[in-house]
Amino acid sequence: MRILGVGDIHGRVGWRNLAEKFLDQVVFIGDYVDSRDKIEDETILSNFEDIINLKKDNPKLVTLLLGNHDIQYLHYPDYPCSGFRGTYKTPLVKLFQDNQDLFQIAFQQDKYLFTHAGVSQSWFYTHIATLKKYEGENLADTFNILHRSADKSILFEVGPARGGDAQYGGPVWADISETQDDFLPTMHQVVGHSRVDDIITYGDEAGLGSITYIDVLSTQVKFYEVLILSE
């Protein structure tokens, strides 16, 4: 399976270049809205609508993950973060909530796990009892089931590295400083959230575990691509 990971969008249109590639799966890593750049609200909204329509037109090809800038609208008024677009709150909340079934927390193919921010061992083992309550066929399935439960808030925990008061950041908020040396040893993770100058991998992608950071769309149009041969 050939998979393309698309980093944090934040209103940018570079994702449209992926149409030229032959792929089995496209995984958007989340953060479709809000922007530090000078992108107008109308542009952010229409760009997001186009991504939603891409998912609707290609339900099996396209996977839409949720980022920290997305959950503040999907679960408004809970889980706020910086960059909140108060002037466009109403249409963004409606767009997320009307299409909530199109989004998920995680995607997994074999040992490759895609989340917005990454999963540290520390966060994982802190919440192992809760995760077992919602255990699915794989870890991504567990996270997606958990998101539909009353215990979903642990997914959105914010650690000190991002100004939060939780001990560790969850898979929607974890910082690179929390995950680069503390990633799950049995998984190959692909994440955004932490801006990097170029796509970078810690660990051994050919070995027991790794984590790859792909949030580079603020500097270049570049996607993460992997060919996974099922075991």
Separation of alpha carbons 51 and 156, rounded Å: 23
pLDDT in tens, 160-200: 999 999 999 999 999 999 999 999 998 999 999 999 999 99
CATH code for position 210: 3.60.21.10
pLDDT in tens, 4-26: 999 999 999 999 988 667 789 99
Q: With respect to residue 123, please indicate whether it lies within any of the assigned structural domains.
A: no
Q: Determine the pLDDT at residue 19.
A: 65
- Is this model's pTM higher than 0.75 or not? yes
Q: Which helix (H) or strand (E) holds 94?
A: helix 89-98
Q: With respect to residue 152, please indicate whether it lies within any of the assigned structural domains.
A: no
For residue 70, what are the domain limits?
Answer: 2-113+178-227
Separation of alpha carbons 42 and 71, rounded Å: 20
Q: Phi and psi of 177, rounded to 5°?
A: -65, -20
Q: Determine the pLDDT at residue 35.
A: 87
Q: Determine the pLDDT at residue 59.
A: 95
How many domains does the chain contain in total? 1
Q: With respect to residue 142, please indicate whether it lies within any of the assigned structural domains.
A: no
